[in-house]
Chain A
Amino acid sequence: MEFRRFNLKSLAIASATGLFLASLASGEPANAQSKAWPDAYPKKGVAGVPESVDKLTIVVDSWGSNDLNPWNASQVNFLSDYYQLRLMMQNPNGDLVPAWATEVKHTEKGLTFKLNPKAKFADGTPADAEALKKNFDGFTGKYVGTAGYEAPLWNGAKAKTFIKSVKVVSPTEVFVETKGPKPTFMWNLGGNGYHLYWYGNPTQLLKGPKEYLKNPAGGGPYKIKKWDPGNRIVLERRDDFWADYPHWRKPQVKEMEVITVKDPAARFAMLKSGQADIVYNLPWALAKTLNRSEDGVRGVNPGKGREWTQTYKANGMLTLTFGCSIQKREAAKPAGRKDQAGVDIPKWKVSKVCEDHPTLDRRVRRALNMAIDKRALSAGPHFGLSNPIGSIFHAGSFGSRPDKVKTPTAFDLEGAKKLLKEAGYEKGFSMEGHFGQFAGRPGIPEAADFISSSWEKLGVKMVWKEHDPSDFVRGFRAGVFSNVPVNLQTWGRQDHSGVQISWYHATSGYVGMYNDKVENLFFDVTSTFDPEAMKKKLAQFEDEVLGLEETFPLYGMTLVNAYSDRVLSHPTVEHSPHFKHYDLVLMRK
Chain B
Amino acid sequence: MSNDAVIEPASQEAAADKNKILRMLDTLRNVFRGAPIFSLVFLTIALICALFAPLIAPYSPIETNPTNILKAPDLTNHLLGTDNQGRDILSRLIHGAQTSVMIGVLSVLLAATVGTVIGLVSGVFRGWVDRILMRFTDGFLALPYLMVALTAVSLLGSSVINVILVIGLLRWMGFARVLRGEVLKLVEMDFVRLAMAAGASKTRIMITHIFPNITNTLLVLATLELGLAVIVEASLSFLGLGVPRPMPSWGSMLKDSQLYIYLTWWFPVIPGIAITLLVMSANLTGDWLRDRLDPTRRQL
The answer to whether B84 and A285 have CB atoms under 8 Å apart is yes
**Which residue among A380, A437, A456, A471 has the maximum number of chain B CB atoms within 10 Å of its CB?**
A380
Tell me the residues in window 209-246 of chain B with beta carbons closer than 8 Å to chain A beta carbons. Answer: 240-242, 244-246
Which one of A85-93, A183-191, A261-269, A420-428 is at the interface? A261-269
Chain A hits for B86, CB < 8 A: 380-381
Q: Which 6 A-B pairs have the closest CB atoms?
A: A380-B66, A453-B64, A452-B246, A464-B245, A265-B259, A265-B258
Given known A445-B256, A463-B247, contact A265–B261 (CB-CB < 8 A):
yes
Interface contact B159-A464, CB-CB below 8 Å = no
Binding site for A on B (CB under 8 A): 60, 62-67, 69-70, 84-86, 154, 157-159, 240-242, 244-247, 256, 258-263
Give every chain B residue within 8 A of A462 (Cβ-Cβ): 246
Given the contacts A468-B240, A471-B157, A452 and B66 also touching, CB distance less than 8 Å:
no
Q: 4 more A-B contacts (CB under 8 A) besides A264-B259, A289-B263, A449-B245?
A: A381-B69, A462-B246, A464-B246, A466-B245
Select from chain A the residue with minimum beta-carbon distance to B85: A381
CB-CB under 8 A from A456, the residues of chain B are 60, 62-63
Q: Which residues of A contact B241 (CB under 8 A)?
A: 466, 468
B244 touches A463 (CB 8 A): yes
> Interface size on A (CB < 8 Å)?
33
Residue A448, interface by CB 8 Å: yes
A467 contacts chain B at the CB level, 8 A cutoff: yes
A139 to B154, CA, bound (A): 32
Q: A286-B259, A286-B263, A467-B157 are in contact. Are A380 and B245 (CB under 8 A)?
A: no
Interface centre among B66, B70, B242 (most CB of A within 10 A): B66
Residues of A within 8 A of B (CB): 263-265, 268, 272, 283, 285-286, 289, 376-377, 379-381, 432, 435, 437, 445-446, 448-450, 452-453, 456, 462-468, 471
Residues of A within 8 A of B62 (CB): 449, 452-453, 456
* Contact A466-B64, Cβ < 8 Å, known A381-B84, A449-B246: no
- How distant is A189 from chain B, measured CB to nearest CB, in Å? 33
CB neighbours of A272 from chain B (8 A): 262
A446 pairs with B63, CB closer than 8 A: no
Contact residues in B for A452 (Cβ distance below 8 Å):
62, 245-246
A446–B257 CA distance with the chains assembled, in angstroms: 12
Tally of A-B Cβ pairs under 8 angstroms: 91
Which A-chain residue is minimally distant from B67 (CB atoms)?
A: A380
Contacts A285-B259, A456-B63 given; indicate if A448 touches B157 (C-beta within 8 A): no
Q: Are B244 and A466 in contact (CB-based, < 8 A)?
A: yes
User: How far is it, in angstroms, between the C-alpha of A468 and the C-alpha of B158 when the chains are bound?
Assistant: 9
Distance in angstroms between the alpha carbons of A453 and B85 in the assembled complex: 10
- Smallest CB gap from B69: residue in A: A380
In the docked arrangement, what's the CA distance between A279 and B255, Å?
Answer: 20
Residues of B within 8 A of A448 (CB): 245-246
Q: Which residue of B has the minimal Cβ distance to A468?
A: B154
CB distance from A462 to the nearest CB of B (A): 8
Q: Name A449's contact: one of B85, B154, B260 (CB within 8 Å).
A: B85
Q: How far is the CA of A463 from the CA of B67 in the complex (A)?
A: 23
Report how far A285 CA is from B256 CA in the complex, Å: 12
Task: State the Cβ distance, B294 to closest chain A Cβ, in Å.
Answer: 43
Residues of A within 8 A of B159 (CB): 465
CA distance A571 to B272 in the complex (A): 41
In the complex, what's the smallest C-beta–C-beta distance from B266 to chain A, in angstroms?
15
- 21 A-B residue contacts at CB 8 Å? A265-B258, A283-B259, A285-B70, A286-B262, A286-B263, A376-B66, A381-B64, A435-B245, A445-B245, A445-B256, A446-B84, A450-B64, A452-B62, A452-B246, A453-B62, A453-B64, A462-B246, A463-B246, A465-B157, A465-B244, A467-B158
Give the docked Cα–Cα distance between A289 and B67 (Å): 18
How many angstroms from the CA of A574 to the CA of B60 in the assembled complex?
A: 40
Which A residues touch B256, using CB under 8 A? 445
Interface centre among B65, B154, B241, B259 (most CB of A within 10 A): B259
Are B244 and A449 within 8 A (Cβ)?
A: no
Are B85 and A446 neighbours in the complex by a CB distance under 8 Å?
A: yes
CB-CB under 8 A from A468, the residues of chain B are: 154, 240-241
Contacts of A380 in B (CB 8 A): 64-67, 69, 85-86
CA distance A463 to B246 in the complex (A): 6
Q: How far is the CA of A377 from the CA of B64 in the complex (A)?
A: 10
